[in-house]
Chain A
Amino acid sequence: MSAASHGALGLTLCSSAFAGLGRAQLKALGQPGLPILEIEHPFGGRSRDEVRAIAHTLIAQIAVAASTAAAGASAAGTSATSTPAAGGVEAVRAIALPSDAQAAHIECVRRRWSDGLPVIAPTPERVEAMIAARWPRDQLIATLAPGFGEATIERIATNAVLAGCEPAHLPVLVAAVEAVADPAFNLQAVQSTTNPVTTWLIVHGPVARALGVNSGANCLGQGNLANATLGRALRLILQNIGRAWPGEMDRATHGQPGKFVFCCGEVEIDHPWQPLHVERGFALADSAVTVIGASGTLNMNTHTKDADQLLDCIAHSMAFPGSNDYHYCGEPWLILSPEHAAVLAGAGLNRQQVQQQLWSRSMMTAGEFTHADFLRTASMRAAEFPQLTPQPRVPPSRTPADIGIVVAGGPGTHSVHVPTFGETRAVSRRVGVPA
């Protein structure tokens, strides 16, 4: 695609299991005719002789593709169906759904609008009420990878209605869309990876309290309107506007339950340290969101009241050989329960000291990884570990400050390790409404 903008022909070699992603990505980028040559999947484990044989097979195909592809690259047409609005943004089109709720639910699943669960029909009246004249409806907030769909206020609001949100939720979603579109979050990779990555949405400050976002008991579970609909709306936005449908551009091998909803608040009253959004540069009275590329959750159930033993338990729980955070130098996260946070704070530890201790104690010996993962780590972390050998101790992040800590949850001796995709960074944005 970028090659084309400089007048060169772009040709992609895809392992066969990902050719569909490649074609969908080219279509999303407006170049459906560019050539893709397939290599039988998987390619990464082939022997040297097999790689040579594949190269010999490809070379003639490359020559043929190069001589014929350019003529067809611009003739493949487009699947765009909307009428651009005066400002150049694609207008949202109207569609007829069955009026019967059950039939409408099935139709929405068929159209791949939903997450599989029933949705609220996004009638023009409901979308109008959702926007409530707070923004121009065609205001473009961001384009969302991997499909680079335009996340306008109207389209975000439409997905918010689908998810069951209330109008008061929309400013949070607008901020969340801004956040996921930040290059640091790496939405392109988060959306299309084989890893089970979802976008964990944390809501901070007065808006969290006003909306009743749950930061206490069962904060990652079901039953709370704000947590459920905000998390769900963000998923539908990423799917429908980012055009990342499972099995198509969303290549997740398993996915995870958090791809339905992963949204919570943080304890702010009686927080032993500063709340996360203050730590990340906002004022305590600011409303904000943080988005994190989360690969799952691990329960760390320990009854210890000893800070040293608690740090050891958490650190050892973080260290597992299949962790992207170690392989790619990531940003692992922890949700400390109020009880566990109190044990650490009660021992006189501040957040930075907890991070330092966890960073040191969670290091893994490079030889603990499988050989293939050791090679990946050696390549990805070459800047920190030139000529990596199996002996050095490898931390899960570049610095202790890159270990994220949130305090949330109800009574109980549980904390949660949230490993991440590794090649993504948390992004925070202020929640606001235009004056």
Chain B
Amino acid sequence: MSQTIEVLDPVAPARADTAPTARAAARSLRGATVGIIDNSKPNFSLLADDLERLLIEQQGVARVLRHRKSSASIGADAQVLAAIASESALVISGSGD
């Protein structure tokens, strides 16, 4: 009697790395536009305020585009995200508490 039986794997594999890759970021952020997606969790807007100021003052970022989600558990509006991402070299988002 066989010691094993053949079964089908119930687990879906992780997606292959077929997603578009990010273009190479500038060696520095000087002169770049940076997006910040506020996940609306407590304190993130304050952190975003501080990061915006420091990105401009210390990293020479030209401008920061901000968007605050209506809810932490619902994705950012696709059109808003597309608009920010298309103009930005870097988009910062938050996760967790």
User: Closest approach, in angstroms, between the C-beta of B44 and any C-beta of chain A?
Assistant: 8
Q: Residues of A within 8 Å of B, CB-based: how many?
A: 106
A376–B59 CA distance with the chains assembled, in angstroms? 33
Which residues of chain B from 41 to 72 have a CB within 8 Å of any chain A CB? 41-44, 46-47, 50-51, 54-55, 58-59, 70-71
| Given A7-B23, A99-B5, A423-B74; A113-B11 close (CB under 8 Å) | yes
B97-A154 in contact (CB<8A): no
The A interface is mostly helix, strand or loop, or mixed, namely mixed
A46–B35 CA distance with the chains assembled, in angstroms? 24
A325 part of interface (Cβ distance < 8 Å):
no
| Given A62-B51, A92-B9, A189-B73; A12-B20 close (CB under 8 Å) | no
Partner of A63, one of B20, B29, B50, B91: B29
Residues of B within 8 Å of A328, CB to CB, are 71
A2-B4 in contact (CB<8A): no
Partner of B4, one of A42, A45, A70, A97: A97
| Given A7-B86, A189-B74; A12-B93 close (CB under 8 Å) | yes
A66-B91 in contact (CB<8A): no
B14-A243 in contact (CB<8A): yes
Question: Which residue of chain A is the closest to B88 with respect to CB atoms?
Answer: A8
Stretch of A30-38, A304-312, A346-354, A391-399 contacting B (4+ beta carbons < 8 Å): A30-38
> Which residues of A are at the interface with B, using a C-beta cutoff of 8 A?
1-19, 21-22, 25, 27-32, 34, 41-46, 48, 51-52, 54-56, 58-59, 62-63, 66-67, 69-71, 73-74, 76-82, 90, 92-99, 104, 111-113, 121-124, 127, 144, 147-151, 154-155, 158-159, 162, 186, 188-189, 193-194, 236, 240-243, 328, 372, 375-376, 379-380, 421, 423
> Which residues of B are at the interface with A, using a C-beta cutoff of 8 A?
1-29, 35, 40-44, 46-47, 50-51, 54-55, 58-59, 70-71, 73-76, 78, 81-82, 85-86, 88-97
